[in-house]
A and B are shown apart, each in its own frame.
Chain A
Amino acid sequence: MADTILVVVEQREGKLNRVSWETIVAGQALARETGWNLEAAVAGNNVSGLASEVAAKAVTKVYAIESPKLATYTPDAFAAALKQFIASSQPKLVLMPHTYQVRDFIPKLATAMGRTVITDCIGFKKEKEILLFTRQMFQGKFAADVTFAGDPPWFVTFQNGAFRADKIESGAAAAPIENVNIEIADAVVRNRPEEAFKEAKQAVDLTQASVIVAVGRGIKEQKNIELAKQLAEALGGEIAASRPICDSGWLPMDRQVGSSGQTVAPQLYLALGISGAIQHLVGMKGARTIIAVNKDSEAPIFEIADYAVVGNLFDIVPPLIEEIKKVKPAS
């Protein structure tokens, strides 16, 4: 029997998480590279509708893994269901998106099967018949090529944005769907989750802003936020921040950009003293023009910046405000 790559797509409350398409694109690329079969699975309760959505893509088969215990997500139920399924179907490679949900259960699943997971990968390559998975280390300062040293199934998660969902290939005909019913004993599921909710009403909608000046920990002290605000004002833009600034209460939470904050796509994103951790980058890399000011020439933010200034923001920002005022009189 040919080796198989299994992509487990993510669904929440009956909706596919869009990042799942990226993981299928990764699976399609890996299937081309290895010649292995590509299959997909969706786990939940009554997920046959989602399974047929996935079956339209170029995959050889889709499994709908079902149990009433999978209706709401818990790590216990998801790990138990996927363990049963994977132990019997024996894929060589299991791919999932590196979402909050997946990182909550995949280390448990891999451990329960005596296996390992290479998490948060941004790509892969094949060298001399060996698969290497590339992931960031040291907050994006380095990338590492990592291999599996044990037996399959090998588990891999891919970072949001690592593959382009619009590159997905559709199948010539719908792939067959197989329903897999899983029994999960009552005692297996120990956590009792409640509904997800949003904390506070958002006072600002950064997604609509065309100019954003964002500050990170390089701003040093709360009182220095004023300087960044002046720059934002001179540009007629909004002020935003990295997570530590909002955690410290220097700016309200609704000004946080990143995976646990807002995702923005302004004309201009001007980052002051932000290192460029991936959780920040996912929230702003869609900006049309990115300018970064950072005193560390190796800060990862420069990898995605169009214009970079290596220097002390406290030297650069005051003359910048003056220059802007010269060409754009205060309105």
Chain B
Amino acid sequence: MKILVCMKQVPQKDAPLKLNEAGTWIREDVSYEVNEPDAFALEEALRQKEKHGGEVVAITAGPARSQQVLREALAKGADRAIHLEDAGFVGLDALNVARALAAAIKDEQFDLIFTGLQSDDQGYAQTGVVLAELLGWPHATIIMQIERTGDGIRVKRELEAGFFQFVDMPLPAVLTIQSGINKLRYATLIGIKQAKNKPMRKVTMAEVQPALGPNLQKVERLHVPQKTRNTEFLEGAPAEIAKKLVDKLRNEARVL
């Protein structure tokens, strides 16, 4: 099976984030990492390849820094990578990102495309599903298991509140992968070395531009969310805080 994995670089989980001057986005001088569900999507693609053979290709759209996620993917075992490299990709809405990805792979024939189910930064939860529609392929979201059947696949979708559901579907298809579907591997030293010689195709904004349209939604501004509860911050040395907490547990929460 030939599998494409769409991956995104996002700010590191505990990176302190600051707003840019216009208040429309964050300041970009933070540390980045692979969007977590995308790491699980890559792992799943590698496992499928180990079982059924084929090829795993990683793709990302973003500025030069985002090449790091492709390097990591190659080091973990992806066969090659595609980098839509331009800072302008950060400002595209989900529809345009999906259009750019579709344009970049128009001469390829994949059996499966994986994306993470949503990104840790924008959290639109759209790119995979939009991509499926643009390609005219079936899709399934929030996937926790994938098996090959005769001429298609059988996937396990996570539903709300602890429910699941199996779905049979034909190939080619797009799946959005949920964190926790598998256990992530680490890149080995050999893998990191080999990654340097693996092919990385660069795609410019100009090449995919004809496929894009105007953004249909616009982030006007970002702000710090409003608190919904009156939070009391307890301060002091740990021993003092412990005493204050016990006081709250007794007299406010009344559980002691």
Contacts and interface: CB of A to CB of B under 8 A. Distances in A.
Interface string A186-202: 00001111111111001
A142 B26 CA distance: 9
B241 A144 contact: no
Interface residues of A, number: 92
Contacts of A75: 129, 138-140
A303 to B, nearest CB: 5
Contacts of B203: none
B14 interface: yes
A99 to B, nearest CB: 7
Interface string B211-246: 000111111111111111111111100110111011
Contacts of B87: none
Interface string A227-251: 0000000011100000110110000
Contacts of A172: none
A247 B218 contact: no
A107 B96 CA distance: 12
B163 A320 contact: no
A303 B234 contact: no
Contact of A76 (B138, B164, B217, B255): B138
B51 interface: no
Interface stretch (A30-38, A85-93, A112-120, A163-171): A112-120
A173 interface: no
Interface stretch (B57-65, B104-112, B153-161): B153-161
Interface residues of B, number: 81
Given A100-B158, A319-B239, A191 B168 contact: yes
Given A194-B167, A316-B241, A298 B232 contact: no
Contact of A137 (B122, B126, B129, B140): B122
A39 B194 CA distance: 59
Given A198-B162, A289-B253, A117 B221 contact: no
Nearest to B245: A320
Nearest to B125: A103
A236 B246 CA distance: 14
Nearest to A322: B242
A120 B86 CA distance: 28
Contacts of A260: 158, 160-162
Contacts of A328: 256
Q: Which 10 A-B pairs have the closest CB atoms?
A: A247-B180, A116-B216, A150-B216, A319-B242, A107-B129, A289-B253, A190-B138, A107-B126, A111-B133, A192-B168
Interface of B: 11, 13-14, 16-17, 19, 26, 93-95, 98, 120-126, 129-130, 132-134, 138-142, 157-170, 179-180, 214-235, 238-239, 241-243, 245-246, 248-250, 252-256
Interface of A: 75-76, 79, 99-100, 103-105, 107-108, 110-112, 115-120, 132, 135-150, 190-199, 202, 210-211, 235-237, 243-244, 246-247, 253, 259-263, 267-268, 275, 288-291, 296, 298, 300, 302-311, 315-316, 319-320, 322-324, 326-328
